[in-house]
């Protein structure tokens, strides 16, 4: 008797061209976290961006909501091999976030999250419409189990780079490993070249 996991499609060729190597399509949205799900009240939530020379800017929830938001429809790919097509998000682009402060010489960002999780992302993977801080999924406020109130969204990289519960974006002049990267995961995380591990 075959074992079929609910929500997964068994035939890879059905989605040829959209699935990176080694991935399977799911219709669910699996929840995987390195830390317990934190509770972050909106009246205490803030997002701070900090340059490598220690200049910083902070938004509270109301200020963040007042920033220009974009609708994003994109496929996402988890390093644990599931992919979900046409996910619908709303968020603030990195281009908007970076317009608040100049960033001369900074090449990478360390994403800090409630609960202590971190991940490093190259700045080139975040700008020019490639990265967002998302606060809405499928037309609803982002649920806590999926990173709410706000999470990073970098859909062209493996989904561990789209860090949940984001609170601080620390810009850096060189690359430094985050939580999973210091435990053997790839520093970049491109699903199309299977950059799962270093």
Nearest to 108, CA basis, from 118, 100, 116, 96: 118
Rg (CA), the chain: 17
pLDDT at 14: 56
Output the domain CATH number for residue 176: 3.90.420.10
Do 79 and 185 contact (CB within 8 A), yes or no?
Answer: yes
CA dist 113 and 115 (Å) reads: 6
Q: Is residue 167 part of a domain?
A: yes
Q: Is residue 8 part of a domain?
A: no
Taking 80 as the threshold, does the pLDDT of residue 102 lie above it? no
What's the token pair of residue 168? 């601080």
What's the token pair of residue 38? 């934190």
Q: Is residue 22 part of a domain?
A: no
Q: Is residue 27 part of a domain?
A: no
103-156 pLDDT per residue, tens:
678 899 999 999 999 999 999 999 999 999 999 999 999 999 999 999 999 999
Could you tell me the pLDDT band of residue 85, with boundaries at 50, 70 and 90?
very high
Q: Is residue 170 part of a domain?
A: yes
Could you tell me the pLDDT band of residue 3, with boundaries at 50, 70 and 90?
very low
Q: Is residue 198 part of a domain?
A: no
Give me the numbers of helices (H) and strands (E) for the chain, helices first please: 2, 11
Q: Is residue 56 part of a domain?
A: no
Taking 90 as the threshold, does the pLDDT of residue 176 lie above it? yes
pLDDT at 8: 42
Q: Which residues constitute the domain of residue 129?
A: 62-193
- Cis upstream peptide for 149 (omega within 30°): yes
Domain count, the chain: 1
pTM (predicted TM-score): 0.89
Mean pLDDT, rounded, for 47-53:
91
pLDDT at 196: 96
Q: Is residue 183 part of a domain?
A: yes
């Amino acid at each position: 008797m075959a074992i079929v996991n609910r929500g997964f499609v068994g035939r890879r060729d059905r989605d040829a061209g959209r699935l990176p190597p080694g991935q399977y399509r799911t219709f669910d949205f699996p929840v995987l976290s390195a830390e317990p799900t934190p509770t972050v009240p909106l009246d205490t939530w803030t997002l701070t961006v900090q340059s490598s020379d220690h200049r910083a800017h902070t938004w509270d929830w109301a200020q963040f909501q007042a920033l220009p938001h974009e609708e994003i429809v994109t496929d996402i790919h988890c390093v644990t091999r599931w992919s979900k097509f046409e996910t619908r998000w709303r968020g603030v682009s990195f281009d908007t976030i970076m317009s608040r402060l100049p960033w001369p010489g900074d090449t990478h960002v360390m994403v800090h999250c409630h609960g202590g999780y971190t991940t490093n992302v190259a700045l080139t993977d975040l700008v020019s419409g490639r990265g967002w801080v998302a606060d809405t999924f499928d037309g609803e406020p982002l649920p806590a189990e999926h990173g709410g109130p706000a999470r990073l969204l970098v859909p062209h990289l493996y989904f561990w780079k789209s860090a949940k519960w984001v609170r601080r974006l620390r810009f850096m002049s060189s690359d430094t490993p985050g939580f999973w990267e210091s435990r053997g995961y790839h520093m970049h995380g491109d699903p199309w070249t299977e950059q799962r591990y270093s």
